[in-house]
Structure formats: structure tokens, C-alpha cells
Amino acid sequence: MSDAPHEPRQHYLNCDYSVRSWLLTTDHKRIGILYLVSISAFFVLGGVMAGLLRLELLTPHGDLVQAETYNKFFTMHGITMIFFFLIPSIPAVLGNFLVPIMIGARDLAFPKINLLSWYVYTLGAAFTVVAMVTGGVDTGWTFYTPYSSTYANTNVILTALGVFITGFSSILTGLNFVVTIHKMRAPGLTWFRLPLFIWAHYATALIMLLGTPVVAITILLVALERGLGIGIFDPAIGGDPVLFQHLFWFYSHPAVYIMILPSMGVMSELVACFSRKRVFGYAFVAGSSMAIAVLGFLVWGHHMFVSSQSMYAGIIFSLLSFLVAIPSAVKVFNWTATMYKGSISLQTPMLYAFGFVGLFTIGGLTGLFLATLAVDVHVHDTYFVVAHFHYIMVGGAIMGFLGGLHFWWPKITGRMYPDAWGRLAAVILFVGFNMTFFPQFVLGFLGMPRRYHVYPPEFQMLNVLSTAGAVILGLGYVLPALYLAWSIFKGKPAGDNPWGATGLEWHTPSPPPTFNFEQTPVVREEAYAYDSQLEGHRV
């Protein structure tokens, strides 16, 4: 099995230490690391914004900042977290690193396009950062017209351009993944032998390809309207602001599936490994990823129930939104069934997996509340919505990202982190998260609107609780940053397969050589062959 690593061995990290070799790399593994650095920086930025928001909300009065400034904070928090952290996170870091290795390839289909996607991301990010430091934007990350196109006095065009450019980074990544998975699988690796991580990334890539261009053209139209005075959404000349919402949400709803599907892919890997069992109902989990990708495009109107959208369209979108919950539920049931009678070990990645299952379930179920037309009329634009999507995006997507980062960290760096600290941080994060966001369900139900820097005094206790939770949550994020960084220099060297997991990535050294495998592997087994592992068989 795994043996002691050979330090002088050449691998993708030590083959060349120059800055040039990093900035001009076409190695998917290095590009994954470049993205890790970028998205981490934006996570900190978005987190600071969140901290400022929660600080203001400690008191019912607007005593920290003015309303317009508060509007800029939540806008920038949303834009940063969604476009510059969550959407790239797992695909651009873990996906870039692992997709070729998991399918036995030497690299992605288009390595130079992969590097281009990082530069495009960086360019878009630069535009957005400039927009932020030269005055910011206050339209909300949703850029609704006619405020964004006509009436706002903030850096809308610059931000819109930044998001537009970054969208192409997403498109290029999706394109690369789709072609790679179709065309570069190792001999014997049929579709139904693929790790579910790959299925998840394939489905995500489809959404990236089909949805992102629509928000791109929509944002471009807003920028044109604002910059050149060309009326498109302007009611004065017969334009319809709701058309913007249709085109915007056509992408932005599937975008949330871009954020959660990769995390679900991570989940399948974690649950199988730390239960030492095949994933229950593999075909159903794979199929549900595809179902989510398709159905996810049919539900966008549930963001527009009170926008003046026709009631009949609302009914259709509501029904379809109920349907899209089914494949997600299938996954949760199947992971649970995988754990049943499995041999569970509670290492850090598995703690994140448990966190995911619980928190995603709550987030998903509250989504059904929102999909119910009659309920949504009351909770739309309240903190109920805010709590719902944070349960999914933080409780779901980020837990999956952290769990995956901890699981594949030894493969990426060749080092182990101290698991005790990992578990402590995971628990702190879980506690902090719930303390931050559960009160927000209550606040929303009681009627506290979102995007307001002031609120009725009777809501203060819950808001204080939420802010206190945010401090604990912040600690939960800081700890991994510290011990993971520490582990790069002082961590115990990891072997090829410290977890005893199945999957091609564990059959190459940690860290892997530049071209991943000495020889192209040939696959003869199904995925997650943990039972045959028990009997001493090997791939």
C-alpha cells in the first residue's frame, strides 16, 4: 500500500520554484493552487464585509454607517462571495486538481485555456476590486433595474464589467471539464465507473456552459443602458424591468446549483471513504446530479413570485421548484444509506460531511417553504430567505469545500494536518454557523426585511445572537487557515493513500508528479470498491 514518501522525488511542486513557472504554468494542479490563493483572498474580503454588516446589526439603529454605505456592504459581500468565491471554489480548486487524476489523464483537454481562465478571473476580480475601492456599488448583487441601469450613483458599470469578465472564466472551466470527461478517460473507465465527484463536476460544467452566457449578455445590456443611454429596461420608453429579472435569474438560479453540486460530489467521496462502503444507489446519485442540472434551469421564476410575474407562470415555477428538490433528497437518503452499517471513522473530513447532511437538509427543506407561492408572499425579501440560502451555501457548499480540502490536502501538499485541530475547528464552525443563521429564520418569519440596516427594537436579541455566532463562525474559519498553512512546512509527510481510499488519485504519489501517472492506469473495477479492498483485492 502506501510507503514512506521519497523527499528528493520530483513532483509538481518542486519541479520548478520560479515565479514564472507558476504564472505561466499549464499544469492543472498548479492552476488549482493559483485559484486556491485567489478565492481565499476573496473569501476574506467577503467575510470582512459580512463582519461589518453583522456589526451594524448589533443595534436597531443605523449607528455604525449610513444606509447607502450599508447597501454597499451587502452588495459587495454578495458579489464577492458568489462570483469570486463560491462559484469557482470547488470546481476551480479541487475540480482542476482532481478531475484529470481521477480519470487517469495527464492533464485537462485544454491546459492553456485552463490558465487563461485563471487570468480572466483575475482580470474580472481586478475590475471589481477597483470598483469597490473607488466608491463601491449599492444595487445588491442582483443588479435589479431600473435602479442599476438608471438611478444608481455608484460604480455599476465597472462592477458589471468585472462580473462579466469573470463569467468567462467560469465558461472556460466548464468547457474544459465537459470535453475532458467525455474524451480523456483512462481505458476501462466507463461512465458508470466514474467517481461521483466527476459526475457532479460534469453536471456543474453543463450549467456553467449553458447559464453563464445569459447573465453575461444581461449585465452587458445594463452596462450599455447606463453607459450609452440605450434604453432596454427603461420603463419610460416601454422597457420592462422584470425582463431583466427573467434574464438575470435564468442564470442565477442554476448558479446556485453550480455552487452546491460540486460540494455534493465531494460528499459522495467522503461518505464512501469514511464509512468504508460503496455509495448506496450509485446510479441514482449520478442521475440526480444530471437531474438537478436540467431541472435547475426550469425554476428561476420562484425568485419573482411578487415581481408582477403572471400568477400562472408562478404556479408552474412553484411546481417545478418542488420537483427539483427530489433529486437532492435522493442524494441525502443515499448518503445516509451508505453510512448505515458502515465502518464509520470520525476524522475531520467526515465531520464536515455530517455537518453538510444536517445543514443542507435544513436549507433544502426551507427552500420548499419559499417555493410555496402563498408562503413566499410573506417571507420574500425577509431574513428567512437569507437564512435559507446561507444554510445551503455555507452549511452545504462551504462545508463540502472544507471537507474536500481536508480530505485531499495530503494529496495536494504531501502533508497531513493535525486532525485534532481539524475536528475542533469543524465543531466550532458548526456551532458558530447555527448560532449565526438559525435566529435569522425566526427573524424572517417575524417579518424583519433583508437589506435593511435598521430594524424594530424587539428584534435586537436575535440579531445580537446572530452576530455573536458570526464571531464564533469566524474563528472556525481562521483555525483551518492557520493549521493548514502550518502543515505545509511542519506537517507529517503523507503517504500515497493516508485514508485508505479508493480512486485513481490515491494510486499516485503525494504530491503527484507533473504528469500524474508514470503509466496510464487501466481500470478494471467499479468505483468505491471498499468491500473488495477488505478482501485484499486491489485495482
CA angle 301, 304, 307 (to 5 degrees): 140
Non-local CB neighbours of 508 within 8 Å, separated by 6+ positions: 101, 496, 516, 517
Q: Segment contacting other proteins (CB under 8 A): 122-130, 236-244, 280-288, 446-454?
A: 236-244
Which of 46, 95, 211, 296 binds other proteins (CB under 8 A)? It is 211
Contact status: 171 vs other proteins (CB under 8 A): yes
Of 342 and 513, which has the nearer Cβ to other proteins? Answer: 513
Residue from 2, 64, 142, 240 that binds other proteins (CB under 8 A)?
Answer: 240
Judged by CB under 8 A, the stretch of 30-38, 170-178, 426-434, 497-505 that binds other proteins is: 170-178
> Among residues 5, 60, 62, 231, which is the contact residue for other proteins, using CB under 8 A?
231
Binding range to other proteins, per CB under 8 A, among 16-24, 150-158, 303-311, 468-476: 303-311
Which lies closer to other proteins via its Cβ, residue 217 or residue 346?
217
Beta partners for residue 348, in sequence order = none
Which residue among 73, 83, 250, 407 contacts other proteins (CB under 8 A)? 250
- DSSP, residue by residue, 383-447: HHHHHHHHIIIIIIIIHHHHHHHHHHHHHHHSEE--HHHHHHHHHHHHHHHHHHHHHHHHHHHHT
Cell of 56: 451594524
- Residues with Cβ < 8 Å from 250, sequence gap 6 or more? 211, 214, 215, 297, 300
Cα angle: 387, vertex 392, 398; to 5 degrees: 115
Report if residue 290 touches other proteins, rule: CB under 8 A: no
**Comparing C-alpha atoms, which of 105, 195, 292, 236 is closest to residue 525?**
195
Q: What is the CA radius of gyration of the chain?
A: 23
Determine if the peptide bond prior to 456 is cis (ω within 30°): no
Q: Which is nearer to other proteins, 4 or 237 (CB)?
A: 237
Q: Identify the residue among 24, 126, 217, 346 touching other proteins (CB under 8 A).
A: 217
**Residues whose CB falls within 8 Å of the CB of residue 239, separated by 6 or more in sequence, listed in order:** 231, 232, 233
Our finding on whether 309 is near other proteins (CB under 8 A) is yes
Judged by CB under 8 A, does residue 188 bind other proteins? no
Residues 427-446 binding other proteins (CB under 8 A) are none
- For other proteins, the closer of residues 58 and 232 by Cβ is 232
Cell of 10: 520530483
Question: Please, which residue, 286 or 425, has the CB nearer to other proteins?
Answer: 286
Interface stretch with other proteins, choices 49-57, 149-157, 158-166, 204-212 (CB under 8 A):
204-212
Count of residues in contact with other proteins, rule CB under 8 A: 61
Q: Segment 28-87, which members bind other proteins (CB under 8 A)?
A: none
Report the amino acid identity of residue 95.
G
Could you tell me if 445 and 380 are in contact, meaning their C-beta atoms sit under 8 angstroms apart? no
Rounded Cα distance between 339 and 274, Å, is 8
> CA 520 → CA 27, 107, 177, 508, distances in Å?
17, 12, 19, 11
Smallest distance from other proteins to CB 217, Å = 4
Stretch that binds other proteins, among 214-222, 344-352, 372-380, 504-512 (CB under 8 A): 214-222
Cβ of residue 516: shortest distance to other proteins, in angstroms? 10
- Among positions 57, 103, 108, 397, the unique one binding other proteins when judged by CB under 8 A: 108
The site map against other proteins for 511-530 (x = CB under 8 A) is: ----x----x----------
Q: Taking Cα atoms as reference points, which of 88, 77, 172, 174 lies closest to residue 128?
A: 77
Q: Does 22 bind other proteins (CB under 8 A)?
A: no
291 binds other proteins (CB under 8 A): no
What's the 3-state SS for 285-321? HHHHHHHHHHHHHHCHHHHCCCCCCCHHHHHHHHHHH
* Cβ nearer to other proteins, comparing 242 with 373: 242
Whether a cis peptide bond, with omega within 30° of 0, leads into 146 is yes
Q: Which is nearer to other proteins, 356 or 517 (CB)?
A: 517
275 Cβ neighbours under 8 A, 6+ residues apart: 338, 339, 342, 343, 344
Task: Between 2 and 514, name the residue whose CB sits nearer to other proteins.
Answer: 514
Position among 15, 37, 126, 313 found at the interface with other proteins (CB under 8 A): 313
Percentage helix, strand, coil, to 5, in the chain? 70, 0, 30
CB nearer other proteins, residue 149 or residue 288: 149
Q: Does 10 bind other proteins (CB under 8 A)?
A: no
Residue number, 91 or 301, with CB nearest to other proteins: 301
Give the number of other CB atoms < 10 A from CB of residue 404: 28
Q: Is residue 246 a contact point for other proteins (CB under 8 A)?
A: yes
Alpha helices in 12-95 (DSSP H): 19-23, 28-56, 67-79, 87-88
Q: How far is the CB of 318 from other proteins (least distance, A)?
A: 13
Note the residues at the interface with other proteins (CB under 8 A).
Answer: 100, 105-111, 171, 174-176, 178-180, 182-184, 206, 209-214, 216-218, 220-221, 224-225, 228-232, 236-240, 242-243, 246-247, 250, 297-298, 300-301, 308-313, 316-317, 515, 520
